[in-house]
Structure 1
Amino acid sequence: MPREKLSVVVTRRLPEVVETRMSELFEVNLRTADAPMTRAQLVEAVKSADVLVPTLTDEIDAGLIGQAGDRLKLIANYGAGVDHIDVATARQRGILVSNTPGTVTDDTADMTLALILAVTRRIPEGLNLMQSGDWDGFSPTALMGGRISGRRLGILGMGRIGQAVAHRARAFGMQIHYHNRTRVHEATSEELEATYWESLDQMLARMDVVSVNCPSTPSTYHLLNARRLKLMKPTAVVVNTSRGDVVDENALTRMLRAGELAGAGLDVFEHGPQINPRLRELQNVVLLPHMGSATEEGRVEMGEKVLLNIKTFADGHRPPDQVVPGML
Structure 2
Amino acid sequence: MSKILCVLYPDPVTGYPPIYARDAIPAIHAYPSGQSTPTPSGPLGFIPGTLIGSVSGELGLRRYLESHGHELVVTSDKEGADSVFDRHLPDADVVISQPFWPAYLTAERIAKARKLKLAVAEVTFSNSISVAEHVVMTILALVRNYLPAHLMAKNGGWNIADCVARSYDIEGMHFGTLGAGRIGQAVLRRLKPFDMTLHYYDPHRLPDELEKQLGLTYHETPASLVKVCDVVNLQTPLYPSTQGFVNDAFLAKFKRGAYLVNTARGALCDRDAIARALTSGQLAGYGGDVWFPQPAPVDHPWRSMPNHGMTPHISGTSLSAQARYAAGTLEILQNFFDGKPIRKAYLIVDGGRLVGAGANAYKLT
TM-score, normalization: structure 1?
A: 0.84
**2:181 equivalent among 159, 175, 179:** 159
- The alignment status of 1:19 with 2:15, answered yes or no, reads no
Per-residue deviation at 1:184?
0.8
Alignment of 1:1-328 (within 5 A): 5-12=1-8, 13=55, 15=57, 18-23=60-65, 24-25=67-68, 27-31=70-74, 34-36=76-78, 38-40=80-82, 41-56=84-99, 57-69=102-114, 71-73=115-117, 95-135=118-158, 138=160, 142-274=164-296, 277-320=300-343, 321-324=346-349, 326=354, 327=359, 328=362
CA distance in 2: counterparts of 1:260 and 1:16, whole angstroms: 44
Per-residue deviation at 1:30?
3.4
CA distance in 1: counterparts of 2:69 and 2:277, whole angstroms: 51
CA distance in 2: counterparts of 1:182 and 1:14, whole angstroms: 41
Deviations for 1:115-153, whole angstroms, at most 9, x for unmatched residues? 0000001111011101111226x5598445111011111
Matched length: 300
Per-residue deviation at 1:18?
2.3
CA distance in 2: counterparts of 1:223 and 1:14, whole angstroms: 38
Indicate if the aligned counterparts of 1:14 and 1:303 stay in contact, CA closer than 8 A.
Answer: no
Aligned to 2:39: none
CA distance in 1: counterparts of 2:69 and 2:138, whole angstroms: 40
CA distance in 2: counterparts of 1:46 and 1:263, whole angstroms: 41
CA distance in 2: counterparts of 1:202 and 1:254, whole angstroms: 22
Per-residue deviation at 1:283?
3.6
Per-residue deviation at 1:194?
0.6
What amino acid does structure 2 have at the position aligned with 1:107? Answer: S
SS in structure 1 of the partner of residue 292 of structure 2: coil
CA distance in 1: counterparts of 2:162 and 2:6, whole angstroms: 54
What amino acid does structure 2 have at the position aligned with 1:316? Answer: G
Indicate if the aligned counterparts of 1:125 and 1:283 stay in contact, CA closer than 8 A.
Answer: no
Indicate if the aligned counterparts of 1:158 and 1:213 stay in contact, CA closer than 8 A.
Answer: yes
CA distance in 1: counterparts of 2:59 and 2:87, whole angstroms: 26
CA distance in 2: counterparts of 1:141 and 1:17, whole angstroms: 42
Per-residue deviation at 1:237?
0.4
CA distance in 2: counterparts of 1:154 and 1:50, whole angstroms: 42
Indicate if the aligned counterparts of 1:15 and 1:300 stay in contact, CA closer than 8 A.
Answer: no
What amino acid does structure 1 have at the position aligned with 2:261? Answer: V
Indicate if the aligned counterparts of 1:19 and 1:30 stay in contact, CA closer than 8 A.
Answer: no
SS in structure 1 of the partner of residue 251 of structure 2: helix
Task: Return closer, same or farther for 1:259/1:140 CA change in 2, 3 Å cut-off.
Answer: closer
CA distance in 2: counterparts of 1:140 and 1:249, whole angstroms: 28
SS in structure 2 of the partner of residue 154 of structure 1: strand
Deviations for 1:299-326, whole angstroms, at most 9, x for unmatched residues? 1211122222222222224432221254
Greater CA drift, 117-126 or 315-324: 315-324
CA distance in 1: counterparts of 2:4 and 2:58, whole angstroms: 16
Deviations for 1:255-283, whole angstroms, at most 9, x for unmatched residues? 11111211111211122232564433334
Indicate if the aligned counterparts of 2:272 and 2:301 stay in contact, CA closer than 8 A.
Answer: no
Greater CA drift, 289-298 or 101-110: 289-298
Indicate if the aligned counterparts of 1:97 and 1:322 stay in contact, CA closer than 8 A.
Answer: yes
What amino acid does structure 2 have at the position aligned with 1:43? Answer: D
Aligned to 2:28: none
Task: Return closer, same or farther for 1:291/1:227 CA change in 2, 3 Å cut-off.
Answer: same
Gaps of 5+ in 1: 74-94
SS in structure 2 of the partner of residue 251 of structure 1: helix
CA distance in 2: counterparts of 1:215 and 1:22, whole angstroms: 34
Task: Return closer, same or farther for 1:72/1:169 CA change in 2, 3 Å cut-off.
Answer: same
Structure with larger RCO (C-alpha < 8 A, sep 6+): 2
Per-residue deviation at 1:68?
1.2
Deviations for 1:131-187, whole angstroms, at most 9, x for unmatched residues? 111226x55984451110111111011000000000011111111100101101222
Task: Return closer, same or farther for 1:38/1:305 CA change in 2, 3 Å cut-off.
Answer: farther
TM-score, normalization: structure 2?
A: 0.76
Q: CA RMSD in A?
A: 2.2
What amino acid does structure 2 have at the position aligned with 1:135? Answer: W
Task: Return closer, same or farther for 1:241/1:26 CA change in 2, 3 Å cut-off.
Answer: farther
CA distance in 2: counterparts of 1:201 and 1:124, whole angstroms: 29
CA distance in 1: counterparts of 2:241 and 2:275, whole angstroms: 22
CA distance in 1: counterparts of 2:324 and 2:181, whole angstroms: 19
CA distance in 1: counterparts of 2:203 and 2:69, whole angstroms: 40
CA distance in 2: counterparts of 1:279 and 1:17, whole angstroms: 31
Aligned to 2:15: none
Task: Return closer, same or farther for 1:143/1:192 CA change in 2, 3 Å cut-off.
Answer: same
